[in-house]
Amino acid sequence: MESQPTVLVTGGTGFVGSYAIDALCRADFDVVAFDLSTDTGTLEQLDRAEEVGIRRGDVTDPLDVVQAIEETGATKVLHLASLLTPAARANPRKALDVNIRGMNNVLEAAKTLDEQVDRVVWASSLAVYAPEEKYDGESVTEDDLILPGTVYGGTKAYNETQAEIYEDEYGICSVGLRPTLVYGPYRETGSTQLTDIVEKPARGEAYEMDHGEELIDWLHIEDAAEAFRLALEVPESELTRSVYNISGERATINEAADVVEGLLSDADLSVSDDGSYPWNFNVDRSAAEKDLGYEPSYDLESGFQQYIDTVRQRRHEQQVQ
């Protein structure tokens, strides 16, 4: 049986990176996590820490990126290292360095090692889109207006452009994914105020939240991880675009709270309708379904149930230690 290729995952010890590694391991890939942090806590929770190589590295250092790819023999790169919205807002200059220069270093490494690397898959974002009122249709496709309103979204929009240029000018095959709100166990950064609607009640804590009537697209982390795996594996001939929307199930925050309360009889949740939330439009994922074979496995109820079960199991294990 022919062995699967080696994948270098930047940001590999983070939330999405750890779950992506889990999905890749299940598909029998050899995986190396490349990250400034060598904390394997999430990988350990997923029982993958012993199966992957851990290499401390910095995506803002071009030599570090090239050496990591060359020395591990990776033929595919999954680029997930990034500063998310809150961190990018707090430190825009660092966001430009990590998000944009980091992406450029990965693309340059793929160009330098073009005989070795055959695919770069990377995380773009729903944040590249404009506010909901800018769109006339029922759903937003990958070809609709790009007009980010945050530093983070701006870095991702720029990366989409540079990825296209590197493909057109240098033949670097890259696939960007625009996930919606990713939720699930062990998330500690990004839009946690939304995922806490599950996390806090699962821990037995009270939680209050606004934006009750805002529609959110809830994407379970295991579905997001599977989308990245599919993007690494699909033959280049089947790709019709350079970036794809990846979504889960749309529901208002009030509806999400109802699901939590239905699963947890002791949930102490309070949701008001005050305020608004960006990026609450309906994204069209039909291109990902057709080209990548992507289809979410979790609906809201099953996804929240898995999340609750994991949090409560972890809490129980901590209590008996």
Task: Write out the residue range of the structural domain in which residue 91 sits.
Answer: 6-180+221-247+281-296
pLDDT of residue 133: 86
- Cα 180 to the chain's mean position, in Å? 8
pLDDT tens-digit readout, 156-207: 999 999 999 999 999 999 999 999 999 999 887 655 678 899 999 999 999 9
Flag the least confident range among 109-113, 191-195, 278-282.
191-195
Average confidence score pLDDT of the chain: 93
Q: What is the mean pLDDT of residues 286-315?
A: 95
Residues 6+ apart with CB under 8 A from 303: 183, 184, 218, 220, 248, 249
Q: What is the rounded CA–CA span in Å between residue 26 and residue 272?
A: 41
Residue 152 lies in a domain: yes
Residue 150 lies in a domain: yes
pLDDT band at residue 136 using 50, 70 and 90 as cut-offs: confident
pLDDT of residue 1: 42
Q: What is the DSSP letter of 126?
A: G
**Cα dihedral value 235, 115, 107, 61, nearest 10:** 140
Residue 42 lies in a domain: yes
Residue 95 lies in a domain: yes
Q: What is the DSSP letter of 127?
A: G
Residue 321 lies in a domain: no
Domain containing residue 10: CATH number: 3.40.50.720
pLDDT tens-digit readout, 194-253: 889 999 999 999 999 988 999 999 999 999 999 999 999 999 999 999 999 999 999 999
Residue 252 lies in a domain: no
Q: What is the mean pLDDT of residues 31-48?
A: 95
Q: How many domains in the chain?
A: 1
